[in-house]
Structure 1
């Protein structure tokens, strides 16, 4: 191993030296070219005849050849146009002097019979079909709106299926395994040994204190909280020719152990008992930072990331659940949506029931392209995750009925969540006694009157929550039902993964996870009819910019499953789409137009909540106006997009269909005028599949949508090294001119900071020089000037 390490280090050093030599040679060549150009320009200035001789000679005929089939007029006009292109000044007024113009009636609509759908690549038809894309038209499967609200409810399920069989020939792959330790008992190390036995290259990555370090042969350490270490890792692996195309991610919080105390329920997770505040989220942050570091290397090849979680999901009903690990599934859903050349799937295992045979089966599955976004192994059995529609008959006889004049408690965000929607229905038809606990002022009408009480309290503080609930019980008596209201997606919870912003996760922890953690404790000794938790459809279909938001809602869903398995009353998580009244607070635009058909009115939300309660002991229910299987096909993508394999395409170019003509737009075509506009136009042409893109053309009129906008912003950030917010393309500047101005502004600001620093240094040098001159005598000054 020592000799192999030495050879790899020598190869890496040789490649580094070669790169430096090539850079130095390029600089020397550039200097020589500049000198030659200077000499040529000087010669032309001194001898004008040489400049005249250097001009290109152009000869054109104004008479057509007899065999040419076009008219004489066309031939003359074409020759004139070519002369104009060569720089000849044309008297256009004289050319059109005798032309007679007349009014020509035109149709009100140009029937051009042009198709603008991009034809699919034949080699991708199978993959497109798996993603819900029509093989005929290349369009994604249409999501139909279900008119009957009884058809909006779905529940998650698990089906036992046969393990995937190993094909006869498996291509060699380079695996990067991020695992918790290098101990042989570690699950990642065991899977690595299995993969090596199948003929694959394996590189091990463990958490460390430094940004990047090499621990031993093909074993490295990266600090998950210092994401720049990832970039150093991939730079090093690229030099060693070990850049991975597969990754196994096992950086997860430690699996809790069952309590040994007398009478303890073995299904109650210590994480719930001890609180989620103490959970180590390092594994979550490590996965969240990974795609951004991979971006420069995705040009060379795509990568498939497989995340291994342990007991994050309720599969058989006998697991010791670990809700914090469910957060990783949210990232698995969103990463491929924001990074098309990254695929992501998740496998959940129960480490207590893993056998050597199961490890072999799991390793064999890892070597094949994944088919399912989420599977689980329990013992030797493989389970596939899915969703099924709830039959109407199951909703007819309510298992939980809301009580007339009952006492109901809303905890959490009122104005931004479910509470503001359901409060009027609880007060009016049911004449319920309503109590509200939230941080901040509680708006009328829900706080006033004899049947309403509002208390301001920090819902993440156990002592304040205990006191608040005691107060509402003293006023209205026993609590009959609890609604946990969380904020819908907003600017505070949304962020692209590439921005590496931790604020949205901290916001979601505070408003969703920590408050729910306290709620599980204050309700432990109480017996309401139910506790309904507001979750989001983002934990089912993901969403652009919703990586951390989806992850937090996955934790809510997992806690509902955990509490339902251990408590005497139902805990129900409801995955809701947006509400119509929330749209007014969001920025208008095409995204709202796309989502508008799926949003729910207040009456539809209330009707859905009643249907959910009628189901009774169902830990999680999805409410989707649109056909859920079609939405999953449209949004959930498991494998990465392929790359172009032709010799003419630049390395790393995504598979693209033939480019089409520029459509008829409301703006005239204006070609790029600067190098930057040209670079931006090239990016748009590659993404949109259009031959010509004008600098005043709207990104959306050209056929762009939110997913392409994500890719465009990522390409622009990478090429120009600037931070462009997503809203700059979606709302502020959807044209090449607008984007170029934003980039120029950021570049100027960065150069301005640099210029100010240089000016400060120059000022210090000038002051020192003046001080030195001031100290000289007149004779010394004269002597210095004489030398000059």
Structure 2
């Protein structure tokens, strides 16, 4: 089997003391991703290329025991695919949107897409009747854009609820999910892009990364196109039906696909070599005025320092109305810790002023266009030369697995981010700029273990900015940054350990990359990666990898490695629960003797093994282990045992006597 990599592949070399092979946890077909030494080769632009489905990729329908679950759209597209599929010997289950859960007839259900409990009821019903789904066709992302209800994020929420229900029921069978959508992918430039709907694409990328038994593919279609008038609507729909049927019944590694007319397109990323640019050949001006619309965030401060030192620029930061006035800075710093977020921003402001920078801090609700416009007018700002905008979302703050994502959390975050960038677009309409740059994350491209919400929000921002570039004469730059190596607190440092810190972009590199983007004639989307982005994207998550690790990692002690020298002494497990957890650690790390206070990262753990560890713990114990706590606060067996024990005690009334007997020996 090929080894699945997490979103941010690590390249750390591991050197073992003796000449034996590496542990089974990392012993598979060798995969390397070369770090590109030349910074000019770190740039990519998103693209779609023509592709064909080969006959060899189609699989035969096995028997009537195959269960196909269809979430059918209101436009009738899914029903036409079902009509075509019924010619095959399969069992089809239909789910329609309704006000409440109901079984209309055999194999036909309605659920309220906004009520998570309905998904639980549906899956329990299917399990009881022996109809666990093997193939999911999700058509609830197909709708006419003018009919979409703004702000309810139905597409994302309904798929999220379904995945959370799967997790609650501990369904570990293989599943194939095909998400059919429209208004998400830009192929010919004429599509009406929907940033709200596009959030589902971020979720789809994370689903198979957190669930190795699931594949999830996205197929974007066009409901109308230029050829409709020539061919007739019926012929066009027939094409779409055939195309979707082909995708449903094929095994393909193409995770993001779009169909336009009769052509199939797959997502790819084209390398763009951008050479170094002299300061005077950028649009950056001496004593220019630059607006940091997202406030004093980490990457903005790095660039603000560069602009202040090199161009003696005037810097404008927009903070919210609660940010203290300059006269109150000293009092704030005295009454708050250095780690306080506002204290950090004040210290950064003071450091910029020491460089001689002219700084203006505006206080405004960045979701409110009128308030932002009034503040700019009241400050008598006659000219803004450039705008740099970042969402300000700290991925460490919203890090969590799919079962941990809350509906309210999602809606608040998505709504606030889309309101902010919408307000910014309105504010900038009548301002003549040299440039506007929107900062996004590589997670919208690659997803990431524990980054479902973060990926979804950044995907929405990308889609919004690309829609702006479709409809405006002055296009924005969109930069999808890889991880950044900045001054961070311990929590963020731990997150970098989980996701592979060796790929992080340094502060010096941030400035150089920023300058090189200006060598492009006009604004566009640019993706940054120190290793080949297509190689990172295309490493598949094998359906069998973690499932098989259960058996392949049952190592003979003679083939495991001795416990390395650590900062703490070895302490043996004191109870059965600690013993079970240390055994899982020993299996995934390939180390024969692990103590309950040994640190995962000191033992040589990395992002791939962390993914396997969490998966194994969740398989072993029937509780919802909080990913954030497990990876950040409990990377020693003793702490993990405490968390598991507490969760088991909370859930013990729900468990059967057999489960209790097995888990609490």
In the superposition, the TM-score normalised over structure 2's length comes to 0.80
Does residue 352 (structure 1) correspond to residue 224 (structure 2)? The answer is yes
Say which of 738, 745, 766 aligns to 2:639.
Answer: 738
* Greater mean alpha carbon deviation, residues 322-331 or residues 487-496: 487-496
Q: Are 1:245 and 2:151 matched, yes or no?
A: no
Evaluate the alpha carbon distance shift between residue 619 and residue 110 of structure 1 in structure 2; reply closer, same or farther with a 3 A threshold: closer
Structure 1 residue matching 2:406: 3-state secondary structure: coil
Which residue does the alignment assign to 2:312? 431
Q: Give the CA deviation at 1:655.
A: 6.4
SS of alignment partner, residue 176 of structure 1: strand
Among residues 255, 268, 285, which one is paired with 2:144 in the alignment? 255
Shift of 1:447: 7.7
Q: Is the 8 Å Cα contact of residues 219 and 256 (structure 2) preserved in structure 1?
A: yes
1:371: which partner in 2? Answer: 253
Instruction: Quickly say closer, same or farther: Cα 1:553–1:371, change in 2 above 3 A.
Output: same
Q: Which residue of 2 aligns with 1:87?
A: none
Cα distance in 2 for residues equivalent to 1:401 and 1:220: 59
- Tell me which moved more, 398-407 or 344-353: 398-407
- Cα distance in 2 for residues equivalent to 1:590 and 1:455: 32
* C-alpha displacement of 1:331: 0.7
Supply the RMSD in Å over aligned alpha carbons.
3.5
Residues 248 and 369 of structure 1: CA distance in aligned 2, closer, same or farther (over 3 Å): same
- Closer, same or farther: CA 628–694 of 1 in aligned 2, 3 Å: same
Q: How does 1:358-757 map to 2 (within 5 A)?
A: 358-392=240-274, 401-416=283-298, 418-439=299-320, 440-441=322-323, 443=346, 444-445=349-350, 451-472=358-379, 474-475=380-381, 477-502=382-407, 504-506=409-411, 508-509=413-414, 512-584=417-489, 586-589=491-494, 591-592=496-497, 595-634=500-539, 637=541, 640-641=543-544, 656=552, 659-661=555-557, 662-666=560-564, 674-681=575-582, 683-684=584-585, 687=588, 698-700=599-601, 704-713=605-614, 716=617, 720-747=621-648
Residue pair 2:563, 2:592 contacting (<8 A) in 1 also: no
Secondary structure class of the residue paired with 1:586: helix
In the TM superposition, residue 507 of structure 1 has moved relative to its aligned partner by 5.5
Seen in structure 2, the aligned counterparts of structure 1 residues 498 and 512 have a Cα distance that, compared at 3 Å, is same
Alignment deviations for residues 620-679 of structure 1 (CA, whole Å, 9 cap, x no partner)? 101122332332244x63x6337979xxxxxxx866466353310048987755343344
Q: Looking at CA atoms only, which structure, 1 or 2, has the larger radius of gyration?
A: 1
Distance 2:595 2:518 in 1: 55
Distance 2:172 2:457 in 1: 33
What's the counterpart of residue 205 of structure 2?
333
Name the count of aligned residue pairs. Answer: 595
Flag structure 2 segments of 5+ consecutive residues without an equivalent: 1-14, 226-235, 324-344, 654-665
**Structure 1 residue 693 displacement after superposition:** 6.2
Distance 1:457 1:344, change over 3 A: same
Conserved 8 A contact 2:23-2:590: no
2:140 counterpart of 1:234 = no
TM-score w.r.t. length of structure 1: 0.68
Alignment partner of 2:91 out of 197, 201, 205: 201
Matched, 1:169 2:60: yes
Residue deviations 1:364-414 (CA, integer Å, cap 9, x gap): 121111220111001111001101110346979999622333322110132
SS of 1:369's equivalent? coil
2:148 pairs with 1:148? no
SS at the partner of 1:459?
coil
Query: Kindly tell me: are residues 368 and 399 of structure 1, through their superposed partners in 2, closer, same or farther at Cα, counting changes over 3 Å?
Result: farther
Secondary structure of the 2:310 match is coil
Write the mapping of 1:119-138 to structure 2, written as runs, cut at 5 A: 138=28
Residue 528 of structure 1 and its aligned partner are, at CA, apart by 1.9
Secondary structure at 1:614 match in 2 = coil
Residue pair 1:434, 1:452 contacting (<8 A) in 2 also? yes
SS of the aligned residue for 2:268 comes to strand
Deviations 1:557-613 (A, max 9, x none): 111211111111121210012322243463444843863322222232122122112
Tell me the CA shift for residue 306 of structure 1.
Answer: 1.4
Asked if structure 2 preserves the Cα contact closer than 8 Å seen for 1:204 and 1:220, the reply is yes
Residue equivalent to 2:658: none
After superposition, the Cα gap between the structure-2 partners of 1:550 and 1:679, relative to the gap in structure 1 and judged at 3 Å, is same
SS at match of 2:562: coil
* Conservation of the 8 A alpha-carbon contact between 1:672 and 1:695: yes
Q: C-alpha displacement at 1:117, in angstroms?
A: 3.2
Asked if the contact 2:440–2:481 (Cα under 8 Å) also holds between the matched residues in 1, the reply is yes
Counterparts of 1:494 and 1:590 in 2: how far apart (Å)?
Answer: 9
Closer/same/farther in 2, CA of residues 245 and 694 from structure 1, 3 Å limit:
farther
* Preserved contact between residue 527 and residue 568 of structure 1 (Cα < 8 Å): no
Distance in 2 (CA, whole Å) between partners of 1:249 and 1:145 is 38
Q: Counterpart in 2 of 1:116?
A: 22
If asked which structure has higher relative contact order (CA below 8 Å, sep 6+), I would say 2
Distance 1:737 1:315 in 2: 51
1:750 Cα deviation after fit: 7.3
Native 8 Å contact 2:58 2:249 kept in 1: no
